[in-house]
Structure formats: structure tokens, C-alpha cells
A and B are shown apart, each in its own frame.
Chain A
């Protein structure tokens, strides 16, 4: 290696690495340490108690309830979001069929593309507030107003423990779909036109075009989408905090780990225990991402 190369590299790397260590690695390390203390957040000297917090965690019903909710979110949110987004993206890009040798979207697709992206522009909290009006349990709510107008009983979206979590799922999907429509659209537009032309000439209909051509060529993008959505499903805190009854209720029916971490830290003042939950969440997320990438590993098709 030539003289002067190391100082050059170090000079460029030092600042970002230092920032990353200070603001990402150090807080993580601190959380691991705090998880083994009984820190209550109001004094400067936490007491070390080993793994006690984790033992408690294993026996904590509400923790397992939150984990089960993440399980459901992990299945439902990515699956439904990707299905809807793929359908829309296909319709916007290829659904119109071939016109003068070019694949086009359905009529008005440029307009739809913008509209689909709207929810993505809104802050999560605003989405929560909007849906608290949509889901309002009496006739002042958007949905229940319509239901009661046609003589139906109002649905207690957030107040009925059986459907509260699904109402949250619907909001998460509503908000995420737009982004993935755009992501998949980008993926589809990078598929060479000749492939579609060839498929059209071979007499492929839209269904075949979608499953045999588009989907395989989008595999990488789908994989990324699945990981992103999975991680979003591990979060879901803001929506639950703003939208759910009694912060994760009724009766814990919508709670997620983020909510429980927040509750333990800031309302029970048990920062140590909350950190232990945070550590658990960290490992759950890492495991999920690793598993997803491993399971979905597949050769990219050579173009």
C-alpha cells in the first residue's frame, strides 16, 4: 500500500464512524447494560441486578401478548400490503396492455400514482388522528356515520377487543401501500420492455404476465419490501399510542412492545425493565431480518 493512503481513508471515515458510535452503538450498549439494572430513571446511579429483568420478562403476560400481536402484524401487514401494492403497481404500469409496442398502465395511472402516495406524506401521528375520526364509535365517525345512515348498528372499531387490532392493521396497510406502489413501479419500469413484448407476442394474458414475468423479475425488490414492512410491524408504536383506546387497550388488545417499553419506562418509571424489553425487541427484529433474508435467498435472474 502506498504511503498516505491510510491517513486519507481514516480521515474520511473518522467523523461518520464517530457519529455512528456515539449516537447508535453507544445507546445500544447502554440499553444492554441498563437492562441488567433496576434503574428507575430518576437517579444517577442504577444498581446492577444481573438477569432478573429477563426472568421477569418471561413471566410477564402482557409482554407475551405484545409478542403475539407482533406475530400477527408480521404476517398480516407485509402480506396484505405487498399484495395490494403489487396489484396496483401492475395496473399502473402494465395493466393497460401494450400500445404501439409499449406497456402502459390503466387509464389515469399518473393521477392514481400521486394519490396513492398521499398517505406516505402524512406524519404517522396525523394518520392516527385522522383515523380516530374515521373510526369514531358513534355517528360522528366517518365509517359509523355511513353505517348508521343506512340503519346498521355502529361498529366499535377501537373499543371492541376482537377487532381493535385488525383496525390498527388496516391503518398500517393504508399508510404503507402508497410507498410500495412507487417502489414496485420503479422495479417494474426497470424490467426490459422486450421481455413484455415477447410475452405479449407469445400470447400471455395479464395474469400470466404478472405471475410468470413481473413477479420473478421483482424478487429483490419484494425481499427488501418484506424486511422493511416487517420492521415497521415491529414498531407500530406511534399508531397504537395515538389511536388505541387506553394506550394499547381495550385491555391490552392492541398493545405492542414499543407501547410496553414506553409504559414501563415513562409511566412505571422502570427504565431497567423497559430496557430489557428493548433488548428483547432488538433480538426479535434482528432474528426476523436475518431469517427473511436467508429464507428468501434466491438467485437473481440474469438479464
Chain B
């Protein structure tokens, strides 16, 4: 199964058959639902487990089929899977054996299994050694999840799975319009600080750029590095901040154009203004030495009161839990507005569904894999995840009634204040090469005397190179 509708080779026997079947059965609402009925394409294994579809079993899981689940063991751990989701699946299908395993290096462990066509059924593709999700989709290794999102929710009565999710979730995991990946953790991004320290000094979270720089002056005078990030491995936290500013100045389409590799997307005025504003922060309020530090080292310095503002996502609090002194209270604020004429309000934020989970289309039990995702997307499954990891999920309202930490509370409040004004981008996942270039360009901009013009031109050149490289699959949103 190919994913690129623009390519001729898309018309495999399988898609032709499916389209023919769809044409013959016009009453069927979604052609994707027929995938299971048609099947039998050349490259598909024929012995995939399949049971009868009932009201109670909308995905047609074979009750006694073995299910293999592989979870990345990183910042979130694996307890949420072993203590919440696996038992939930087993409670529903007591005859099924759930083979659970974890891996620190997903690509090292799993890539050979995909190349030999013996993949596990459900994979949490994450961590620094994750597999290239776009390449997997391109190679037809990933199950179309349309059926899952159309199925009834496990424990939210009267709703389909897709209706229980935060808007944008399905799109975030879609490749050329088809959902292949579930991005399960919902992450909000902003500038993190210690609210206890700020309260002690009478500092308040700045809303405009003028307030921001004024406060940075005060913080600097107090002998604290006002703003920093780690150049050695986490420059992407900073380009996220720069592009957040760009989106606020010029509207979310700025990011969409970047994703779609539009001509001049990076040399846009909004990106330039944002880069110029941040370059000044780097030059005046940064610490050059942090170019040589890793994210954990700078985060530790923040915990020790040596760094005031730090750009990151909502996993930060959980990641630093061991090193955070009891007096330290994590809080997060939106990136301040750069100009008075910003298109988006100051409360708008970068937020996205992240942490990828997908089902192998060539596995033995893809229906079981999708069913497992349905358990993750149940209210109980989502609540259990947030309790174990302090990270929100894409399931709406699942955190209600859960006792939360200061950072999570602050992040939640920021998300509520943002309302529908949140945005994100996809290009770093789609084009890893562009991500590497952006890291280098950001470090140059913030630490090594770069300029906004240079940053924009450099990124535009790299984006054009990706666009003109026929070996890289292109995506649109």
C-alpha cells in the first residue's frame, strides 16, 4: 500500500480492488472500512488474525490471537503500559496472550524485524533512536487507522473514538490525508520558570517583548542567566520558540507554509522578525557556554536557580522530578508577543499531540493492535497514563478528577487560556535533514553571532534542497 496519491505507482492491485469494491458498495460511508474485507494483496501476509465484528468488538479482533506490543522506555517509562493498558486489553480478551516488551533503542531492536517482515503488532515509536515514521509509511508497513477512529469508544458511551479526541489529533498522525499514527501524549510548549523564585523577587510573567526584555535585565542584574537552552543536543527547543513567535506574528499559516516547503516560507517577514527578536535575547541574555551543554545539564542549572527561563514541553516536570528541590515550583508561560500587531493573541501557544504509536500492517494481528490503541484511548486508559506520567493525553477531559502537579496545573491553565489558539508544525518529523540544519542554524543565531537574515536564508536553502531531492518523500498538510 503506497501513501503518496501523486505517484503513479499508487495504483497497486490492492488499491484498485478497494476502489472497485467501494464503487460497488456506495452505501458504505468510508472506503477505508473495506480494507479488511478486500485484503489478499500480493505483499500482504494471508494469515492475519481476524475475528467476527460485533457491537462489542467493532474492530473484529480474534479473541485468542496473540498480540505483541513494544513500548519505548524513556522519560515516560513503561509502567503505564504494563499497569494500565495491557491489563485493560487482557480483561477484554482473557484468552489472548499479550507479549509485552520494552526497548531503549527502538530502531536498533525493531528495524530488522520490519525488513524481515516479522514486525510486532503495536509499536511506540519514540526516543532518540526512533524509526523514520515517514519511511515506514512510505514502505507500506503501517496500518491505516481509519477504522479505529470510526469505531465506538471503549468506555465513553455514545461516542466514536474520533469524537473523544482533542481536535487536530488525527491530522497530526496523518500522512497525505490518511491516518496512520496515533500521537497520544498531548504536549504544551512554553517558557518554563520557577514560580517560587519569581514570587520571592516580585517578578511576574511578561506578556510583551518589552516586558520580557525589561524583566531579563532585572534577572541579569540579580546574577542569574535570564534565558538559556542547551545547544549540544536540544537546539530544537529553541527553534520551536522562534517559530512560535513567527506564528504569533504572522499567523499559523507561517508554519503551514514551512511544512509544505512553500517557496520563501522561511524568508517570510514573520520568521525574520521572530529570529531577530530571539537573536537579541541570545546575544544579551544567554550564556555562550550553554552551547556545549546537554538539556539535562541546563535543566539542572535551572533547578539550582542559575537559569530563569527555559523553553521546553510539558514533559519537563516529570523529566526533572528527581533533581527538582522541594521549594522549586514549575510554571509555564506562553512565549511573549513580539509586536503589538501580532496576528495571534499573547495567550496562543504551540501545542501538539506527540509520542507516536502505530500498528504494523504486515504484522500477524493488526486488528488486535488497533484494539490495543482503542484501550489506550479509553477514558480509563488515558487517565491511567496521566497518573503514571504527569503528561496529558489526546483524550478530552480524561484528567478530570486527577490530582495534578504544579507544572501540569500551570500547563493546563495555559492550554485553557489559549482556547482554540494553538498551533504546531510537522516538518521536523517529516524531514529529519531539515531538523539537523535548523539545530545548527539556531545555535549559530543564538550563540555564535548569527543574524536573522542569515538564519532565514540558510533555512530556506536547506528547505529548497529537501524539496528538490527526489529521494525524499514529500508530505503536505
**A contact residues vs B (CB 8 Å cutoff):** 38, 40-44, 56, 135-138, 154, 156-159, 161, 245-247, 249-252, 263, 266-270, 273
Asked if B131 is at the interface (CB within 8 A of a chain A CB), the reply is yes
Known: A40-B135, A43-B139. A158 touches B292 (CB 8 A): yes
State the Cβ distance, B469 to closest chain A Cβ, in Å. Answer: 8
State the Cβ distance, A35 to closest chain B Cβ, in Å. Answer: 13
Asked if B351 is at the interface (CB within 8 A of a chain A CB), the reply is no
Q: In this complex, what residue of A is CB-closest to B469? A: A56
Residues of A within 8 A of B291 (CB): 137, 156, 159, 245, 250
Give residues 419-477 of B contacting A (CB, 8 Å).
432-433, 436, 439-440, 443-444, 447-448, 471
State the Cβ distance, B370 to closest chain A Cβ, in Å. Answer: 20
Asked if B140 is at the interface (CB within 8 A of a chain A CB), the reply is yes
Residues of B within 8 A of A249 (CB): 439-440, 443
Residues of A within 8 A of B135 (CB): 40-42, 269
Question: Contacting chain A: which of B13-21, B110-118, B379-387, B410-418?
Answer: B110-118
Query: Is the CB–CB distance between A251 and B141 below 8 Å?
Result: no
Residues of A within 8 A of B433 (CB): 268
> How many residues of B are in contact with the other chain, CB < 8 A?
37
Q: In this complex, what residue of B is CB-closest to A264? A: B433
Residues of B within 8 A of A138 (CB): 287, 289, 293
Query: Is the CB–CB distance between A269 and B132 below 8 Å?
Result: yes
Give the contacting residue for B232; candidates A40, A154, A246, A251; CB below 8 A.
Answer: A246
Asked if B231 is at the interface (CB within 8 A of a chain A CB), the reply is yes
Query: Is the CB–CB distance between B107 and A266 below 8 Å?
Result: yes
B interface secondary structure, majority: helix
Query: Is the CB–CB distance between B289 and A137 below 8 Å?
Result: yes
Query: Is the CB–CB distance between B140 and A43 below 8 Å?
Result: yes
Give the contacting residue for B292; candidates A40, A44, A159; CB below 8 A.
Answer: A159
Known: A38-B471, A42-B115, A251-B443. A156 touches B288 (CB 8 A): yes
State the Cβ distance, A242 to closest chain B Cβ, in Å. Answer: 11
Known: A137-B290, A268-B432, A270-B471. A42 touches B448 (CB 8 A): no
Query: Is the CB–CB distance between A42 and B292 below 8 Å?
Result: no
Residues of B within 8 A of A268 (CB): 132, 432-433
Query: Is the CB–CB distance between A245 and B432 below 8 Å?
Result: no
Query: Is the CB–CB distance between A40 and B290 below 8 Å?
Result: no
Asked if B136 is at the interface (CB within 8 A of a chain A CB), the reply is yes
Known: A249-B440, A250-B448. A42 touches B231 (CB 8 A): no
Give the contacting residue for B440; candidates A43, A158, A251, A267; CB below 8 A.
Answer: A251
In the complex, A107 Cα to B235 Cα: how many Å? 51
A interface secondary structure, majority: loop
Asked if B129 is at the interface (CB within 8 A of a chain A CB), the reply is yes
Known: A251-B444, A268-B432. A245 touches B292 (CB 8 A): yes
Query: Is the CB–CB distance between A42 and B440 below 8 Å?
Result: no
Instruction: Flag B284-311 by CB within 8 Å of A: 1 or 0 each.
Output: 0001111111000000000000000000
Query: Is the CB–CB distance between B232 and A245 below 8 Å?
Result: yes
Can you report 26 residue pairs joining A to B where beta carbons are below 8 Å apart?
A40-B139, A41-B111, A41-B132, A42-B136, A43-B115, A43-B139, A44-B117, A136-B293, A137-B292, A138-B293, A156-B291, A157-B292, A159-B288, A159-B289, A159-B292, A159-B447, A245-B231, A245-B232, A250-B444, A251-B440, A251-B444, A266-B129, A267-B436, A268-B432, A269-B132, A269-B134
Asked if B233 is at the interface (CB within 8 A of a chain A CB), the reply is yes
Asked if B388 is at the interface (CB within 8 A of a chain A CB), the reply is no
State the Cβ distance, B182 to closest chain A Cβ, in Å. Answer: 19
Residues of A within 8 A of B443 (CB): 245-246, 249-251
Asked if B138 is at the interface (CB within 8 A of a chain A CB), the reply is yes
Inter-chain pairs besides A135-B292, A158-B292, A159-B291, 10 sampled, C-beta below 8 Å: A42-B114, A42-B138, A44-B116, A137-B291, A159-B231, A246-B231, A246-B233, A251-B443, A251-B444, A269-B135
Known: A41-B111, A42-B131, A246-B231. A156 touches B289 (CB 8 A): yes
The 3 closest A-B pairs by CB, nearest first: A269-B132, A137-B292, A137-B289
Q: In this complex, what residue of B is CB-closest to A273? A: B471
In the complex, A266 Cα to B55 Cα: how many Å? 43
State the Cβ distance, A157 to closest chain B Cβ, in Å. Answer: 7
In the complex, A41 Cα to B139 Cα: how many Å? 9
Query: Is the CB–CB distance between A42 and B447 below 8 Å?
Result: no
Q: In this complex, what residue of B is CB-closest to A139? A: B289
Query: Is the CB–CB distance between A252 and B440 below 8 Å?
Result: yes
